[in-house]
């Protein structure tokens, strides 16, 4: 038994493998920020007593799905093979999944922005009133979007290492970090209404980035996260200014 397992742990004595593991963990966590924002906004639409449970169930199910996808990694890699060519670009299953996921994000973010601007228009809201969003529907939507991010992150991971064990460890640690951060982030968004609009803007930008990537126009992730970081900094300054004005008024 030990002789069988030994080859699978040879990478532990390779310093470059540890560097790849740490890099992949950071990458998975950073890529998970997009998904975490979506989860926070979505679960805040549920009744208060169901929100934490929905986040736990949704992220746990997402972890299981990612581990299953890693087990079929040879199939995932084949998703990059072109299926057809249109406008001089060869579209693969990965491209189609990214485009579909991007459209899904753009649609949901746009609907929710409209509902935030005009809260009385329940007929046209993204998911209607709070009672109309069930726990099962929330988990399904979390899994649906996580599928898009999972396939992209797994393909990225394949380009960084050949060790499947490293990929499993990185995914487990990254999703565990998401589990720990989900509730604090959701509570922060709920307590700061202006953050909701900023987060929806992030989702809109991420959705457009996914569509562009699927169409063959790769936007460096560094640009996206730099824009998100700058916007978050501006909003933090606005929040600080508002809090100081409240103290002066009182």
Whether the per-residue pLDDT at 4 is higher than 50: the answer is no
Q: pTM for this structure? A: 0.66
What is the per-residue pLDDT across 167-176, written as a single tens digit (0 to 9) for each? 888 888 888 8
What's the whole-number average pLDDT of the chain?
77
What is the per-residue pLDDT across 73-97, written as a single tens digit (0 to 9) for each? 777 767 777 888 877 778 888 888 8
- Is residue 187 exposed (0-12), middle (13-18) or buried (19+ Cβ within 10 Å)? middle
Stronger pLDDT, 119 or 107, i.e. the higher one: 107
Residue 136, in any domain of the structure:
yes
Residue 237, in any domain of the structure:
yes
Residue 130, in any domain of the structure:
yes
Whether the per-residue pLDDT at 250 is higher than 70: the answer is no
Residue 10, in any domain of the structure:
no
Strand segments (E) across the chain: 82-86, 89-92
Residue found under tokens 């799905």: 65
Band (119; pLDDT cuts 50, 70, 90): low
Residue 205, in any domain of the structure:
yes
How high is the pLDDT of residue 6?
43
Residue span of the structural domain in which 127 resides = 15-80+88-249
Whether the per-residue pLDDT at 126 is higher than 60: the answer is no
How high is the pLDDT of residue 130?
41
List 90's β-bridge partners, or say none. 85
Q: How many helices (H) and strands (E) does the chain have?
A: 9, 2
Residue 3, in any domain of the structure:
no
How high is the pLDDT of residue 131?
42
How high is the pLDDT of residue 5?
40
Band (160; pLDDT cuts 50, 70, 90): low
Calculate the alpha carbon distances from 45 to 12, 49, 58, 137, 162 in Å. Answer: 44, 11, 14, 11, 41
Instruction: Report the alpha-carbon distance of residue 1 to residue 229 in Å, rounded.
Output: 49
Residue 32, in any domain of the structure:
yes
Band (140; pLDDT cuts 50, 70, 90): confident
Domains: count for the chain: 1
Instruction: Report the alpha-carbon distance of residue 225 to residue 204 in Å, rounded.
Output: 13
Residue 44, in any domain of the structure:
yes
């Amino acid at each position: 038994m030990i002789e069988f397992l030994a080859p699978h742990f040879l990478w532990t004595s390779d310093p470059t493998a540890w560097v790849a593991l740490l890099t992949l963990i950071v990458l998975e966590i950073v890529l998970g920020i997009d998904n975490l924002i979506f989860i926070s906004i979505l679960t805040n639409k549920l009744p208060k007593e169901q929100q934490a449970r929905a986040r736990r169930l949704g992220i746990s199910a997402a972890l299981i799905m990612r581990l299953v996808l890693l087990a079929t990694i040879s199939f995932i890699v084949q998703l990059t093979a072109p299926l057809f060519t249109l406008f001089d670009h060869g579209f693969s299953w990965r491209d189609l999944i990214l485009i579909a996921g991007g459209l899904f994000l753009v649609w949901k973010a746009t609907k929710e922005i409209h509902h935030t601007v005009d809260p009385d228009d329940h007929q046209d809201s993204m998911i209607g009133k709070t009672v109309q969003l069930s726990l099962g529907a929330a988990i399904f939507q979390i899994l649906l979007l996580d599928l898009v991010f999972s396939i992209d992150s797994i393909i990225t991971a394949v380009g960084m290492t050949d060790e499947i064990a490293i990929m499993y460890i990185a995914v487990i640690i990254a999703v565990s970090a998401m589990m720990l951060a989900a509730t604090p982030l959701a509570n922060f968004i709920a307590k700061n209404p202006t953050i909701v609009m900023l987060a929806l803007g992030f989702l809109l930008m991420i959705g457009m980035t996914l569509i562009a990537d699927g169409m063959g126009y790769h936007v460096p992730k560094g640009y996206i996260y730099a824009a998100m970081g700058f916007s978050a900094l501006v909003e933090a300054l606005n929040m600080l200014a508002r809090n100081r004005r409240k103290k002066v008024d009182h």
